[in-house]
Chain A
Amino acid sequence: VLKLLLSKSEKNAGFADSPSVSAISIVFNLLLCTHPFKKCELHRLDQGPPTQALLTREQGLKYYRTMQTMRRMELKADQLYKQKIIRGFCHLYDGQEACAVGIEAGINPSDHLITAYRAHGYTYTRGVSVKEILAELTGRRGGVAKGKGGSMHMYAKHFYGGNGIVGAQVPLGAGLALACQYKGNNEVCVTLYGDGAANQGQIFESFNMAALWKLPCIFICENNKYGMGTSVERASASTDYFKRGDFIPGLKVDGMDVLTVREATKFAADYCRSGKGPILMELETYRYHGHSMSDPGVSYRTREEIQEVRSKSDPISMLKDRMISNNMASLEEIKEIDVEIRKEIEEAAQFLCNHIFYNEPPMEVRGTNPWSKLKSIS
């Protein structure tokens, strides 16, 4: 019956946004995910997160939009770096979008999050606008840290950066969790680190204290298979990062599927909120770019490998396909969203000509030659 109803459902753009939808319409717009999740490997846990999830059209479009915005923003940063408008370090997140979006979907805005230097995606999901991020990357006063932080030092409410020293953010995250416990506010702290940082001693010190004091800390290892140019096999005696917490329960999650990440994060957050102490999640993911903009990313891995992930496991494509094949959105709609986002990012990256006038609509400005037409936004 559900399949029949779904096959008859039509997309109604405005309808989905309306708060007062009738019971039957809810059915039209809901989808019980028919794709089985990759089952999470568990460590010291009797049961893991659910293997199915409910995705509404609204949620799907939101996740799609967020991931696509992040993707285009990172590609824009790539361009700006090559034009030397962004300087210093620039670590791009494209390929890993499902992690940031899934995690944000699994926690509350009042929860806390801290990560390492590959932070542009999280800065966005934690509420900073693309404009402020790109302005910060290009060292402008309008940047989220007024140009004084740069790529690795962007902050927002309940988002503690952006940290340049590998692994240093993990004790900080445990400290944020300590503060949550101290204040008794039922909040948790998501503390992210990479497969490279996983071998830092201070992380094990944090595991010990977090477990000892039952801190509400979700440790998340984003395993993108390479710590800079060193593959996980060459860096770690044990590549089961979700087990490295030893006495801390762990789970391994497919980080390319936004729904799996969301459900796993919800599971982890519930675990922490119930006072059981910290939990460790390993997200298997992949980055398309090299470690940073100064790394082409092909000396330690093959182009074929990158291409394979792009074609088979790209998080944005996977979500798009899932939504289209389940009639939650049409291809045209998705394309429209793509075009919109591209435009948004382009506008956010316009700096040269802005603020000629106060509070005026956008206008065209002549560049250095008759063919160069620039745009000015107030």
Chain B
Amino acid sequence: MSSLFSSLKMMTKGAMRCVLITNHLKFFETIGNFQLLQVTVRDALNQAMDEELERDERVFLLGEEVAQYDGAYKVSRGLWKKYGDKRIIDTPISEMGFAGIAVGAAMAGLRPICEFMTFNFSMQAIDQVINSAAKTCYMSAGLQAVPIVFRGPNGASAGVAAQHSQCFAAWYGHCPGLKVVSPWNSEDARGLLKSAIRDDNPVVVLENELMYGVAFEVSEQGLSKDFTIPIGKAKVERPGNHVTLVSHSRMVGHCLDAAAVLAKEGIECEVINLRTIRPLDVETIEASVVKTNHLITVEGGWPQFGVGAEICARIMEGPAFNYLDAPVIRVTGVDIPMPYAKILEDNSTPQIKDIIFSVKKTLNM
């Protein structure tokens, strides 16, 4: 309770009012004022799970340290205390085993949320995710649904080195039968996780550990219990005319920062937040390319067979190809296992200067 309180700041237009907010109290609206709340991504995910657990008794959470430890990254803080052993289950360190158990429970009609402490560990269980979960609806010709959510932090963190820094967007995005979402901000996190839990298909939710502690303004609508974001729809975070930047997860923030710098030089970037990796919203990207004629993809993962590579191929195959004034540029993580030393790590993932450099390159400046 106190932890949530400490991470909230009320902002009202003109009014000098402070309202105590906890997970349990309702949000009280000040009449006539438009209110926004600062919510961290962590709390957004926490609230989303809390609300869905309350809404549907078939929903439950399992994973390592999700219950009594409050979550390895505290994303499930308070849930075990509220819902108990039956709904929030601590598992032994057996990824393949508990992922399979979660899939089996989903086949029997429950709606599990299976947490991987990081998606690096999901490799141990990837057979259950792909062969047991993703393909089953198809193999059974629609007889057997698997309404499961696999979630956890994905991609680079800080100083955790090669075995703990891989981005799995491309691997999971490759497979038919899976839906894959990658939220950036708190609103994304809330809306996409709620949609994922309510979806009757297996959904992989790729969170980002470095984003957990970042607070964003969330509108009142975004805080409502039934707020969902449709899976498969990208969002234009910032309109612009000169170049399109497409990204997902943490890199969206980098794109917006780069856009702010470039705006001072008169270059207006349109920043698209993919939100969903699979199914990919190509239409939104195409509409933007038709307008700007220049496209840059930005991702944290490796270049070969990556999200950017897929976007390049799709654009080339579609009508927007004829509107390109230059080849699509991919800004990606460096094609190496992630090093440990800070200076090496910093230079292994896209930085704002890399995006700015690429924009100027494509605009021939």
Contact = CB atoms under 8 A, between A and B. Distances in A.
State yes or no: do A and B come from one complex. Answer: yes
Contacts of A172: 100-101, 103-104, 107, 128, 132
Contacts of A148: 138-141
Contacts of B97: 171, 174, 202, 205-206, 208-209
A205 B94 contact: yes
B116 interface: no
B105 A155 contact: no
Interface residues of B, number: 32
**Interface secondary structure of B, over-half rule:** helix
A174 B104 contact: yes
A114 B60 CA distance: 22
Given A165-B132, A179-B108, A208-B94, A171 B86 contact: no
B96 A149 contact: no
A171 B128 contact: yes
A168 interface: yes
A149 B140 contact: yes
Nearest to A143: B141
Interface in B54-106: 60, 86, 89, 91-92, 94, 96-106
B139 A175 contact: no
Given A171-B99, A179-B110, A209 B141 contact: no
Nearest to A148: B141
Interface in A181-217: 182-183, 201-202, 205-206, 208-209, 212-213
Contacts of A171: 96-101, 103-104, 128
A170 B140 contact: no
Nearest to A202: B96
Contacts, number: 116
B347 interface: no
A180 B101 CA distance: 12
Contact of A209 (B94, B131, B140): B94
Nearest to B104: A175
Interface in B115-130: 127-128
Given A165-B131, A202-B97, A178 B104 contact: yes
Interface in B267-317: none
Contacts of A168: 100, 127-128, 131-132
Contacts of A161: 136, 139-140, 144
B143 interface: yes
Contacts of B128: 168, 171-172
A170 B128 CA distance: 11
A5 to B, nearest CB: 47
A161 B146 CA distance: 13
B96 A201 contact: yes
Given A145-B143, A148-B141, A153-B140, A176 B105 contact: yes
A163 interface: yes
B339 interface: no
Contact of B144 (A147, A160, A180): A160
B240 interface: no
B232 interface: no
A164 B140 CA distance: 13
A11 interface: no
Nearest to A180: B108
A112 interface: yes
The 5 closest A-B pairs by CB, nearest first: A175-B104, A171-B100, A205-B97, A179-B108, A205-B94
Given A171-B104, A205-B92, A209-B91, 15 more contacts: A148-B140, A149-B140, A153-B139, A161-B136, A170-B100, A171-B97, A172-B128, A175-B101, A175-B102, A182-B60, A202-B94, A202-B97, A208-B92, A208-B97, A209-B101
30 contacts: A146-B141, A148-B138, A155-B140, A155-B144, A161-B139, A165-B132, A168-B127, A168-B132, A171-B101, A172-B103, A172-B132, A173-B104, A174-B104, A175-B100, A175-B101, A175-B103, A175-B108, A176-B105, A176-B107, A178-B104, A178-B110, A182-B110, A202-B100, A205-B92, A205-B94, A205-B98, A209-B91, A209-B92, A209-B94, A212-B92
